[in-house]
Amino acid sequence: MINLDEFKQYGYQLIDWITDYYSHIEDFPVKPDITPGSIGQQIPPTAPEQSETIDQILSDFNRIILPGMTHWQSPNFFAYFPANASFPSLLAEFLTAALAAQCMNWDTSPAATELEEKMMQWLQQATGIPMEWRGVIHDGASMATLTALLTAREKALNWQINRTGYTSPNRFRIYCSEEAHSSIEKSAKIAGFGQDNVIKIAVDEQLALIPEALEKQIIKDTRAGFQPLCVVLAIGTTGTTAIDPLEPVAQICQHHGIWLHIDAAYAGTALLLPEFRWMIKGIENADSFVFNPHKWMFTHFDCTAYFVKDPRALLKTFEILPEYLKSGPLGQVSNFRDWGIPMGRRFRALKLWFVLRNFGLESLRERIRNHIRLAAEFESVVLDHPDFELMTPRTLNVVCFRYHPDKINDNKNLDRMNKLLEEQLNRSGKLFLTHTRIREAYTLRMVIAQTNVTRDHVTHAWETIQHQAKTIKE
C-alpha cells in the first residue's frame, strides 16, 4: 500500500487528471455504446494476492473503466434528472474523504452534526420551508419517503407496530398521483403496507393530481374499512415535473387526519427562486418535505434534505439506544442516526456548506433561472417547428416533446420513430436524453439543468435532434 509521500505524489497527479477531464469532458461520448458484459470481462475473477502499483491501477482505470462511464457532468447530458456536481462541492468531497469520519452521533464528530443543523436551516431560509421545522440529510429521496411513511404509521397507531409488529391485517392506504415516483410503491412494500394499497389518483390535463378525485377515494376507502394514512404529493413529477396542488390537498389531509408528505426531489431547488414559492403555498399544513440538492443544486450525490414538522414523532419512530452508543451528552444534542434508518453517516453537510458559500444564493438563483430560461427557449423552438410536437406545457426546465411529421397520425408508428430517434441520438454520443410516456405516447424529455450547460449546448442539441429526425424512416 502506498505511503503518505506517495499519496501526495499521486494526489497531485489526480488533480491534473481531474482538471484535464473537466477541460475535455465534451470530447467523450456522453453515454458509452457498450455491449453488456464487455467491461466485466476485462476484470479478473479474483482479487490479486500481491500488491499492484497505483500506476497499474490508474492505467486500467483509463483503459477499462473510463470508456464504460456515462458522463453525468457533461453539459450535453439532458437525460433523467441530473446528478449535478460543482467544483466547490468536489473540494468538500475531498475533505470528507480525507477526514473519513463516521458522523452517526453528535459525539462522533460534533462539528458534522452542528454544521448539518445549520445547513438545514440555511436551506429552510433560502427555500421558504417553515423555520419551525427541522431538517436532516438522508442519502436519497427514496429513503426520506420511507422514513415519512414509517413515521406516519407509528404516529397513527401510537407506536404500536414498532413494539408488537403487525397484529391485525394491514388496512393502511397511501395515496399519490398516477405520475408519482416509484419510490412510494417501494416504500409501501418495505413498510408492510403492500403495493396494492398505494392508490394512484387521476391527474388533470397538466398531469397534476386532482384533489376532488383524491377526496372521493379517501371517503370510499374509509367506508370500506381502510385507514387512509398518507398522501405523497409531487412537486415536480419525474416524468414531466408536474406540480400537484398543495393547498387543496393539505386541506383534505387535515380534514381527514392524514399525513401529508411532499416529494420535491428534483423541483425543490426551484424554491430558491421567490417566483416559484407558490408551489409550496400551504406547506405549513403538511407534515414532511424532501428535496435533493444532489439533483439540480450542484451538490454531489448523495445529499437529500428531509424536513419534518414534528421531529419528536420522527425520533420516537427511529430512536434506539444500545449500550455501545451510550456516549456523549444525550438529550441536549442531535444524534442524527436516530433521524432515519442507517446508523452510519457520511459528513455530507460539508459539501452543502462549500456550495452555498462559494456560489452564494444570488449566483445559485441566477444559474437556476438561466436553466429555466433556456428550457423556455427550447420549448418555443419545438412549438414553432412543424415536425415536432410539445407533449405537455413546460413548468420548469424539462421540455417534453416528440418528433411528429404532419402526415403521420398513427401513434404506434410515432412511438417507434421516437424510440428510434432517442436510440440514435444517444448512440451518437453527442448528447444524452431519455423518455417518458404521456398518455401512452412515447415522449422525449429534454432536461436543461446540467451545472455547466449553456445556450450553445442547447442550440447544438436541437440542431442534432432535427438533423437526426430527418433520417428516421416513416
Task: Give me the least distance between CB of 238 and ligand PLP, in Å please.
Answer: 4
Cell of 151: 413515521
Residues contacting ligand PLP: total by CB under 6 A: 13
Residue from the set 129, 141, 208, 283 that interacts with ligand PLP by CB under 6 A: 141
Positive/negative CA dihedral, 250, 189, 134, 450 = negative
265 binds ligand PLP (CB under 6 A): yes
Report the amino acid identity of residue 303.
Answer: C
Task: Give me the least distance between CB of 416 and ligand PLP, in Å please.
Answer: 27
Buried b (16+ CB within 10 A) or exposed e, 71-99: bbbbbbbbbebbbbbbebbeebbeebeee
Site string for ligand PLP, 415-454 (x = CB under 6 A): ----------------------------------------
- Closest Cα to residue 338, out of 93, 161, 113, 101? 113
Cell of 1: 500500500
Task: Give me the least distance between CB of 304 and ligand PLP, in Å please.
Answer: 5
For ligand PLP, the closer CB: 161 or 243: 243
Task: Give me the least distance between CB of 116 and ligand PLP, in Å please.
Answer: 17
Task: Using the structure block, give the residue that is written with the C-alpha cell 454531489.
Answer: 300
For ligand PLP, the closer CB: 368 or 469: 368
Residue from the set 84, 142, 177, 450 that interacts with ligand PLP by CB under 6 A: 142
Q: Which range, of 92-100, 135-143, 192-200, 429-437, touches ligand PLP by CB under 6 A?
A: 135-143
Give residue 410's Cα distance to chain centre: 35
For ligand PLP, the closer CB: 86 or 105: 86
Task: Give me the least distance between CB of 42 and ligand PLP, in Å please.
Answer: 29
For ligand PLP, the closer CB: 81 or 432: 81
- 77: helix, strand or coil: strand
Backbone angles phi, psi at 40, to 5 degrees: -55, -40
Cell of 37: 458484459
234 binds ligand PLP (CB under 6 A): yes
For ligand PLP, the closer CB: 168 or 182: 182
Report the amino acid identity of residue 369.
Answer: R
Q: Which range, of 111-119, 140-148, 391-399, 424-432, touches ligand PLP by CB under 6 A?
A: 140-148
Q: Per DSSP, what are the bridge partners of residue 304?
A: 138
For ligand PLP, the closer CB: 181 or 430: 181
Task: Give me the least distance between CB of 93 and ligand PLP, in Å please.
Answer: 17
Task: Give me the least distance between CB of 78 and ligand PLP, in Å please.
Answer: 15
- Closest Cα to residue 296, out of 267, 275, 272? 267
- Dihedral angle at the C-alpha atoms of 402, 404, 409, 412, nearest 10 degrees? -40
Cell of 324: 455501545
Task: Give me the least distance between CB of 265 and ligand PLP, in Å please.
Answer: 3
For ligand PLP, the closer CB: 249 or 421: 249
Distance between CA 175 and CA 165 in Å, rounded? 23
Cell of 269: 431547488
For ligand PLP, the closer CB: 238 or 468: 238
Q: Per DSSP, what are the bridge partners of residue 348?
A: none
For ligand PLP, the closer CB: 141 or 465: 141
Residue from the set 140, 228, 245, 293 that interacts with ligand PLP by CB under 6 A: 140
Q: Which residue is nearest to ligand PLP (CB)?
A: 140
- Closest Cα to residue 440, out of 425, 418, 423? 418
238 binds ligand PLP (CB under 6 A): yes
Task: Give me the least distance between CB of 279 and ligand PLP, in Å please.
Answer: 13
For ligand PLP, the closer CB: 73 or 292: 292
Decide: residue 312, CB within 10 A, 0-12 exposed, 13-18 middle, 19+ buried: exposed
Binding residues among 268-307 for ligand PLP as defined by CB under 6 A: 292, 304
Q: What is the 3-state secondary structure (H, E, C) of 355-410?
A: HHHHHCHHHHHHHHHHHHHHHHHHHHHHHHCCCEEECCCCCCCEEEEEECCCCCCC
181 binds ligand PLP (CB under 6 A): yes
Residue from the set 74, 96, 109, 183 that interacts with ligand PLP by CB under 6 A: 183
Helix (H) or strand (E) holding 135: strand 134-138
Report the amino acid identity of residue 368.
Answer: I
Residue from the set 72, 77, 78, 81 that interacts with ligand PLP by CB under 6 A: 81
Residues in contact with ligand PLP by CB under 6 A are 81, 140-142, 181, 183, 234, 238, 263, 265-266, 292, 304
